Amino acid sequence: MTDPILRTKGLTKSFGALKACNDVSLDLFPGEIHALIGPNGAGKSTLIKQIAGNMAPDSGEVWFDGSDVTHLDTVGRARRGLGRTFQISSLAMEYTVLQNVVLGALGRDGGVMRFFKPVMKDKRLLEEAHAALDRVGLTEQAATRTADLSHGQRRQLEVAVALTLKPKAFLMDEPMAGLGVEGSRNLTGFLDTLRHEAPILLVEHDMDAVFALADRISVLVYGEIIATGTGDEIRANRDVRTAYLGEEDVA
């Protein structure tokens, strides 16, 4: 069997007496979408931060692409190919849409200590940037100031920036948050094709999207993973039904 791209081993993180993350082990294999769900306060954000490198675990390890990255910071993990999108859009708001994606392409290219040539005339970076915008459908907004984008467009841009990094795995924190029905459906379709390029660890509240997309689902409750399995297995799981989904949600 192939090795996972991303794997956590026994991640534990406490804030005082509260165990926000308790012995969490999960993995992400090439070609799959692994969804992480859980009620509010289950510790999803704490887990995401530990995987992305914003927060150091009390114990446990994070492995990425065959090596231990537990002690790398966000920058180091991004360089290794972890493409992250945020729950609340995290973009350079004064820049144009194009500048934001060029920044992504620049990060991937690495040569940031160049002081003289205009970056917005760099053909290779522009090509990559436009390609990414094209894929998420923001080509027409390229010259728009990011602050003037609609909420949904910002979500798209966030994904476009992650695309320019050509990551080995995506870490997406509620990409559907605040999208309308149609926006959500479009993004679902897009992520469906994206999984073949790089696997996605998807934290999402939109259950329709989760069950439509995920190859596997892990359920996090009070900092612990109480179940991992396919959509059907999760639907049928008694613990999950009581803890999270609620009887009425299960069709």
Binding site for another protein (CB under 8 A): 52, 73-75, 78-79, 84, 86, 90-96, 99-100, 102-104, 106-108, 110-122, 145, 161, 164-165
Residue 182, classed as helix, strand or coil, is helix
CB closer to another protein out of 52 and 179 = 52
Rounded to the nearest whole angstrom, what is the least distance from the CB of residue 54 to another protein in the complex?
8
Residues 6+ apart with CB under 8 A from 107: 78, 164, 165
Residues 43, 16: contact at Cβ < 8 Å? no
CB closer to another protein out of 133 and 234 = 133
Residue 237, classed as helix, strand or coil, is coil
**Crossing angle of helices 123-136 and 151-164, rounded to 10°:** 130
**How many other C-beta atoms can be found within 10 angstroms of the C-beta atom of residue 189?**
12
φ and ψ at 14, to 5 degrees?
A: -115, 145
CB closer to another protein out of 113 and 251 = 113
Q: Distance (Å, rounded) from C-alpha 209 to C-alpha 176?
A: 8
CB closer to another protein out of 29 and 95 = 95
Rounded to the nearest whole angstrom, what is the least distance from the CB of residue 73 to another protein in the complex?
8
Q: Distance (Å, rounded) from C-alpha 170 to C-alpha 16?
A: 31
Rounded to the nearest whole angstrom, what is the least distance from the CB of residue 96 to another protein in the complex?
5
CB closer to another protein out of 112 and 236 = 112
Rounded to the nearest whole angstrom, what is the least distance from the CB of residue 144 to another protein in the complex?
9
**How many other C-beta atoms can be found within 10 angstroms of the C-beta atom of residue 113?**
5
Rounded to the nearest whole angstrom, what is the least distance from the CB of residue 160 to another protein in the complex?
12
Rounded to the nearest whole angstrom, what is the least distance from the CB of residue 93 to another protein in the complex?
6
Cα angle, residue 196 at apex, residues 131 and 183 outer, rounded to 5°? 60
Residue 9, classed as helix, strand or coil, is strand
CB closer to another protein out of 201 and 219 = 201
